[in-house]
Chains A and B, each alone.
Chain A
């Protein structure tokens, strides 16, 4: 700026100003041309296409890219975006989905496990009944191949909300070297809880310090619940909702357990003060007290594969998902094996399953249904599950070739769990699952530590917490 004659001011373009302006202009053009994120890049904001949320990391999303590409080839008008969401467990994953809902960018489809099935059915997911009735002929082959117990786990108040894709039962994994060193063979199919205790004692005797005969984690799947189920009880009251006949009569008319099928499970009250619940907790307390089992910590047992494969753990409950993990940890197919959960009053097993749910907020539900049907095809499931990182819900896929590379030798146990024990039930997960799980896991450790009196006190607390959770929400 320069002072001109007459006292007025005016702007003149100096060389420095010109260079500055030129630089700013260049920067503006560069920024304008740079590919950048916009609002439409936020998953769920795009009007067209399907956003599918799964629990996992970017590698898991990448693993399903082939499936998405195959789908897009068949349905070129439907774009698919797989969005992996990381979480320590399903509860974490569901919390993140809820924040996406709150942010106004919910996915169209979510891969939901049993833990969240009723939460989604109650608040977020679209029932599939009309679609299933419409495409019944196309789906008959799927239902013929999938056990009705798995389907029933996704029934809620008479409607079906998901098609199960993968599942796992809480069977018992055994370290065969440890077993042999204890002078034992693989137990019989109908082994009892007492046999199990004796096996742990023998293992402990034959191993040195730093060895744990039985390792379990404090969570809904594979924690205390299988011990409650095999004692013909649970920490929640359990009954079946009416309805669902349209599905059972239409697809499973010859199911031997047809009379027990209904419109889905209802877990709406505390059963923590049942004497059988105390018995099961007290049994676990005795195992801990005798040094046969660990005092359970929370979490998903991430370090367990390493401990089991290095021979520091003798037995642990897990599902078919463990086969690949143990194989990758260096265990041969003869180094470990699997057996049914031991019998107590019953041999009822616990299982969990997972499948895609269509969100009520999905813009294009018909397209979402096409994805669900596509994912339930055998070739799609083969693409999604090339190795035994989980158990496919299709019986035809659970075969010798699937486990040929990894083991276990008695892989038949996985699917036979449902055939042999048709009363086997899903993870007890009402719509208030997160709060129910919290109430359970926070009292388990106290219940299995110390004296029987402490067990009773912990169960009183569990009962109080469950009543607070279930009472306040109804």
Chain B
């Protein structure tokens, strides 16, 4: 027990000071300011409560019910969890998602970092603005529209990609109709559309690295790759952490690209965890099962994020 608490008890009231003098109420102006702040925050708090907190709680509860929208929900305990544990499609979809996250996030961050480093080099401002806008542009497009368009480009018989491949004498590639080809296309399309966000984070991070650190490194004889590995990477590590956490969370929820491009096929080769949530809910009318899968996915995301933050203690360097 702290001294302050002891003193308060001795004074007979937790609301009074040790010497028995009533604590001064907050100045009227501050109270008004606080009230005003709460008023401004209220729409966000109410919105989050209704549209985020309540659905999360509802979804958690639904995981223990069997519900097809039309009939009354029926309590089934842990049956939905047992069901998904035995379902090979669910297992494959989670495995696909994990492989996807590893490959796509690695590519996304690598491409974003390389391009961000390149545009930090000397170039006219208008060209820098052009590159920044160009790389960010895919992110503002609808993922569904992009995927439809890419589906045409990668069509085995009539796609532009195979036409270009044909120009150099290669045989057409069955992009969307073989497991490896379909997975490659989904990753390509996803990375193309999402690297822009990581790119912008890296551009900001690189801009914050003081020039004198580079100058000192140069005086010590560092150049090129050494400077990048020993100066840029450590000083950029806080940005890398943020970019990787956000990229992993987003990639774990991949849906649009595989749904539109391949519908999860061929077989289950590109089926993602969120696709199985959607299919369970809106195609099989198993909303409880869908919630159970969603809950497992949420736990996976939380676990991965926790691990990332734990690892950051070793690898992230704060100035």
Are A442 and B158 interface neighbours, CB within 8 A?
Answer: no
Verify B69–A442 contact, CB threshold 8 A.
no
- Chain B neighbourhood of A307, CB < 8 A: 158
CB <8 Å contact, B177 and A449: yes
21 A-B contact pairs sorted by A residue (CB < 8 Å): A98-B69, A98-B282, A124-B70, A294-B157, A298-B263, A298-B265, A307-B158, A434-B283, A435-B283, A438-B263, A438-B264, A441-B263, A441-B265, A442-B263, A442-B266, A442-B267, A442-B271, A445-B265, A449-B266, A468-B89, A472-B83
Given the contacts A95-B283, A295-B174, A449-B178, A212 and B263 also touching, CB distance less than 8 Å: no
Residues of A within 8 A of B284 (CB): 432, 434-435, 469, 473
Which residue on A lies nearest to B174, using beta carbons?
A295
Contacts of B83 in A (CB 8 A): 472
Whether B156 and A435, one on each chain, are in contact in the complex, defined by CB atoms closer than 8 angstroms, is no
B308 at the interface (CB under 8 A from A): no
Is A297 an interface position by the 8 A CB rule? yes
Which residues of A are found within 8 Å of B166, using beta-carbon distances? 209
Would you call A348 an interface residue if the criterion is a C-beta within 8 Å of the partner chain's C-beta atoms? no
Let me know if B177 and A297 touch, CB within 8 A. yes
A-side residues, CB < 8 A to B, are 91, 95, 98-99, 101-102, 123-124, 209-210, 212, 215, 218, 294-299, 303, 307, 312, 432, 434-435, 438, 441-443, 445-446, 449, 458, 461, 464-465, 468-469, 472-473
Number of B residues, CB within 8 Å of A: 32
Knowing A212-B157, A297-B155, A445-B177, the reply to whether A123 touches B266 (Cβ < 8 A) is: no
- A7 to nearest B CB, angstroms? 14
Q: B7 near A: Cβ within 8 Å?
A: no
With A and B bound together, what is the CA distance between A472 and B87 in angstroms?
11
Scoring A218, A438, A472 by chain B CB atoms within 10 A of each residue's CB, the highest score goes to A438
CB-CB nearest in chain B for A457: B267
Q: A442 to B265, Cβ gap below 8 A? A: yes
Residues of A within 8 A of B151 (CB): 297, 299
**Chain B residue, CB-CB nearest to A88:** B260
Chain A residues contacting B178 (CB-CB under 8 Å) are 295, 449
Bound CA span A21–B283, Å: 54
Contact residues in A for B69 (Cβ distance below 8 Å): 98, 101-102
Q: How far apart sit A458 and B262, CA to CA, in the bound complex (Å)?
A: 17
Q: B267 to A435, Cβ gap below 8 A?
A: no
Cα–Cα, bound, A441→B271 (Å) = 13
Complex alpha-carbon distance, A435 and B289, angstroms: 14
Decide if B279 touches A438 in the complex (CB within 8 Å).
yes
Q: Are A446 and B285 in contact (CB-based, < 8 A)?
A: no
In the bound assembly, the distance between CA atoms of A472 and B84 in angstroms comes to: 12
Other 5 A-B pairs with CB < 8 A, given A210-B157, A445-B266: A303-B155, A435-B279, A442-B268, A445-B267, A464-B88
Residues of A near B179 (CB, < 8 A) are 446
Smallest beta-carbon distance B190→chain A, Å: 18
Contacting residues, chain A, for B87 (C-beta < 8 A): 468
A99 CB contact (under 8 Å) in B174, B279, B282: B282
Q: Does B105 contact A (CB under 8 A)?
A: no
On whether the beta carbons of A446 and B283 are closer than 8 Å, the reply is no
* B89: chain A residues within 8 A (beta carbon): 465, 468
The reply to whether B283 and A296 form a contact with Cβ atoms under 8 Å apart is no
* Residue B152 CB within 8 A of the other chain: yes
**Residues of the A chain whose Cβ atoms lie less than 8 Å from the Cβ of B152:** 303
Q: How far is the CA of A312 from the CA of B159 in the complex (A)?
A: 13
A-B complex: 5 closest residue pairs judged by Cβ atoms: A434-B283, A445-B266, A95-B282, A295-B177, A298-B263
Tell whether, in the assembled complex, residue B283 and residue A438 are in contact, meaning their CB atoms are under 8 Å apart.
yes
Quick one: which of B140-181 are within 8 Å of A by CB?
A: 151-152, 155-158, 166, 174, 176-179
Chain A residues, Cβ within 8 Å of B68 = 123
Docked Cα-Cα span, A95 to B282, in Å, equals 5
Q: Mark B76-120, 1 if CB is under 8 A from A, else 0.
A: 000000010001110000000000000000000000000000000
CB 8 Å contact bits of B237-281 with A (1 = contact, 0 = none): 000000000000000000000000011111110010000000100
Give chain B residues whose Cβ lies under 8 Å from the Cβ of A295. Answer: 156, 174, 177-178
Minimum distance in angstroms from A14 CB to a CB of chain B: 19
A101: chain B residues within 8 A (beta carbon): 69-70
Bound: A217/B266 CA distance, A: 13
* A212–B157 CA distance with the chains assembled, in angstroms: 8
Residues of A within 8 Å of B262, CB to CB, are 298
Nearest-CB distance from A212 to chain B (Å)?
Answer: 5
Beta-carbon contact of A446 and B266 below 8 Å: yes
Residues of B within 8 A of A461 (CB): 267
In the bound complex, residues from chain B placing their C-beta under 8 Å from that of A212 are 157
Most buried by B among A441, A442, A449, A465: A442
CB-CB nearest in chain A for B178: A449
Residues of A within 8 Å of B285, CB to CB, are 98
Instruction: A465 to B88: give the CA distance in the assembly, Å.
Output: 9
Residue of B nearest to A122 (CB): B70
On chain B, the residues within 8 Å of A123 by CB distance are 68, 70
Which listed residue (B158, B267, B279) contacts A446, Cβ 8 A? B267
* Chain B residues, CB < 8 A from A441: 263, 265
CB distance from A13 to the nearest CB of B (A): 21
